[in-house]
Amino acid sequence: MKINSKDFRVPTGKTVNLKKWPTLVEPVYKSTKDYNKLLQKHVEELSSLQRLHYAANSHSVLLIFQAMDTAGKDGAIRHVMSGVNPQGCQVFSFKHPSASELEHDFLWRTTQSLPERGRIGIFNRSYYEEVLIVRAHPEILRTEGLPVELLDEETVWQGRYRSIVDLEDHLYRNGTRIIKFFLHLSKEEQRKRFLQRIDTPDKNWKFSLADIEERKFWKDYMKAYEACLSATSTHHAPWHVVPADDKRNARLIISQIVLDTFKALKMSYPEIDAKRKQELASIRRNLMEEASGSESTK
């Protein structure tokens, strides 16, 4: 099965009903061996494109991952980006904002971590938390220090969606390409993964009672995700709904979407002008003469 990025993309203006988007699809790999082979191929190709991206220094790329607990964000980032030079890639995780961060607008803390040209930035959760977890728990909104007149839940979310879309349009116009992933996990698969964390001693540290509490708000989160995906999937910064019940399949889908985005940039290594070519030729002659001189003194 060939991966078509468009199959997972949320079209601009589409009203999203997550019940109609699968959490499990036919796998693109035939076996564990085949999966490892395909992933390695993607990783090697991405590594090569990342070097070109760094050298071209014309665009920046931002990957955004959002999902429910246990959906596999960390594993996807670790496996898909395993071949990328750490100097050209940075990962940021955003949790509850600090007291200092709450003194600013909701986009401020993430804006400081945007990738430079030639680099890849990865947001493991992002500014989208402010229209997801905060929408599922509206009481958080009342603790963010906003003026009372801005706390109207009938208008605040639409205002935040507009701020996000405006930011992403601005970034696109300045050379940043944004790839957004929602790892779509079923509630039943999350239950199984929670049990696995409890039953596997090496994974006990991953389990938190807070995760179980959040599970009680599953319907609220799904509504928040549907509204968010519908409002903020644009031509320049589309959302991709990735079936996440099969972690391996999800990683292959994600890596293919990232590869397709890089290839669309039509990058090339910087061209060297005539003067620079002469300089390099001169340096090369000196180095060759140095080697000849070393040989003659032996």
Q: What is the CATH number of the domain that holds 111?
A: 3.40.50.300
- Give 195-235 pLDDT, tens digit per residue: 999 999 888 888 888 889 999 999 999 999 999 999 999 99
Q: Looking at the domain assignment, is residue 197 inside a domain? A: yes
Mean pLDDT value across residues 236-263:
97
Which residue type occupies 258?
A: V
For 87, other C-beta atoms within 10 Å of its C-beta total: 8
Helices and strands in the chain: count of H runs, count of E runs: 10, 5
Query: What backbone phi and psi angles, to 5 degrees, belong to 200?
Result: -110, 110
Burial 103-118 (b: 16+ CB within 10 A, else e): eeebbebbeeebbeeb
Distance between CA atoms of 240 and 7, rounded to whole angstroms?
A: 9
pLDDT for residue 260 is more than 70: yes
Where in 138-290 does DSSP place strands (E)?
Answer: 176-184, 239-243
Q: Looking at the domain assignment, is residue 80 inside a domain? A: yes
Tell me the C-alpha to C-alpha distance, in Å, between residue 222 and each of 19, 77, 86, 134, 188.
9, 23, 34, 13, 14
Query: What backbone phi and psi angles, to 5 degrees, belong to 28?
Result: -85, -5
Structural domain tally of the chain? Answer: 1
Q: Looking at the domain assignment, is residue 297 inside a domain? A: no
Distance between CA atoms of 221 and 190, rounded to whole angstroms?
A: 14
Q: Looking at the domain assignment, is residue 286 inside a domain? A: no
Distance between CA atoms of 43 and 35, rounded to whole angstroms?
A: 12
Q: Looking at the domain assignment, is residue 159 inside a domain? A: yes
Q: Looking at the domain assignment, is residue 176 inside a domain? A: yes
pLDDT for residue 102 is more than 80: yes
Q: Looking at the domain assignment, is residue 281 inside a domain? A: no
Top mean pLDDT of 31-45, 75-89, 136-150 is at: 31-45
Domain range holding 138? 5-272
Mean pLDDT value across residues 120-140:
95
Distance between CA atoms of 155 and 60, rounded to whole angstroms?
A: 32
Q: Looking at the domain assignment, is residue 64 inside a domain? A: yes
- Give 177-190 pLDDT, tens digit per residue: 999 999 999 999 99
